[in-house]
A = this chain, B = another copy of it.
Amino acid sequence: MTTSAEAKGAASGLPPVHVIGTGLIGTSVGLALRAVGVDVSLEDQSETSVALARDLGAGRITGEVAPGLVVVATPPDVAPGLVLESLRRWPEAVVTDVTSVKQVILADVVRAGVALDRYLGSHPMAGRERSGAISGRADLFEGRAWVLCPHETTDGRATELVGRLARATGAAVSTLSPLDHDAAVAAVSHVPQVAASLVAARLEHLSEQAIGLAGQGVRDVTRIAASDPGLWTQILSGNAPAVAAILRDLSTDVTRVVTALEALGEEANVADAPGARAVLARSIADGNAGHSRIPGKHGAGTATYAVVSVVVDDSPGELARLLVEIGEEGVNLEDLRLDHGLGLPFGLAEVHVLPQVAGPLTEALQSRGWQIHG
């Protein structure tokens, strides 16, 4: 893709990079850097793993190792020790770790009492459902966020170098303090995960008929509830204070809604009903406000698209034909969702477009014989 090649090109001139830990993330870092011509050396406590990463093309494991930049890509429990060891082994090199929670790692490193100007944590927000070197991909970070988390004594040149590394893999770079990073991922990732899991858990014992009423809403809310319990226990444990703080607020909010519903459920309490209704309306309205903060496509702020819903037969090629004809009308698709009906051999394609083209597109598709759904 020319676009990602341009982004990578801007990051040329990286010094030799040494990757410690050749699991999914470390191997993918190596593959991405090798693809743009960086000299990458690899290290892992498992000889099998590091040999596999080398064979996949993630870097070399022989020859002189004199890195300008060290990437510690190991599990969190061993990362602080390897950061400190790397700072000692290579007195000129910048060192970063790429674990998904930053404050606990920094606290461990600081405890050693050494100079940390050449160290900063960072977090590439990418993952896969599979782990290990074999799952590594050169494009794992493409289009994903990579957060730099410099601490108080990090040298600006160290931050700049890790940023250049991240951009070289195709990632979009941003900078947050370790505490702010942990609070941010608690709000935008860890708490939504807990909420999705707890809502999904309430579906487990529904009757077949009841669960049969599940529509797109609950599907969306609970999609990430399919996540791995082992992985998420580690993530939540490593960010316990930040996640607990938001969940406490959330629990207060749930209790407020329950109290309002109980007032409305008791007909005797009609006097309380207006206040109770206001609590419900306020809860939904606050959700509107929070939802509107989520950036839209291309991080360009929230855009409101119009949705044109088209009935599409469930046969190969029908959806493709629809999209070809949308392209022929000169309309750019902003987003697309498929909504399959209950027990019916067709679905709805929800075509998101800029509001001003929704009307003309609807007419054009109807004249081409497509059924536009209400």
Contact = CB atoms under 8 A, between A and B. Distances in A.
A222 interface: yes
Contacts of A213: 125, 145, 147, 174, 184-185, 188-189
Interface of A: 1, 3-4, 7, 28, 125-126, 128, 135-137, 139-140, 142-145, 147, 170, 172, 174-176, 180, 183-185, 187-189, 191-204, 206-207, 209-215, 217-230, 232-233, 236-237, 240-241, 243-244, 246-251, 253-255, 257-258, 261-262, 264-265, 273, 276-277, 280-295, 297-299, 311, 313-317, 319-320, 323-324, 326-327, 330-333, 335-338, 340-348, 371, 373-374
Contacts of A316: 327, 330-333
Contacts of A311: 1, 4, 139, 142
B200 A180 contact: no
18 contacts: A1-B311, A3-B345, A128-B374, A136-B374, A143-B342, A180-B207, A198-B253, A200-B290, A201-B253, A201-B286, A201-B290, A206-B293, A211-B294, A240-B264, A244-B261, A297-B347, A319-B323, A336-B338
Nearest to A241: B265
A218 B194 CA distance: 11
Nearest to A123: B213
Given A226-B287, A316-B331, A317-B324, 17 more contacts: A3-B345, A142-B344, A191-B202, A200-B291, A203-B293, A220-B220, A226-B288, A233-B280, A237-B276, A244-B261, A244-B265, A247-B257, A247-B258, A298-B343, A316-B333, A319-B323, A335-B338
Contacts of A253: 198, 201
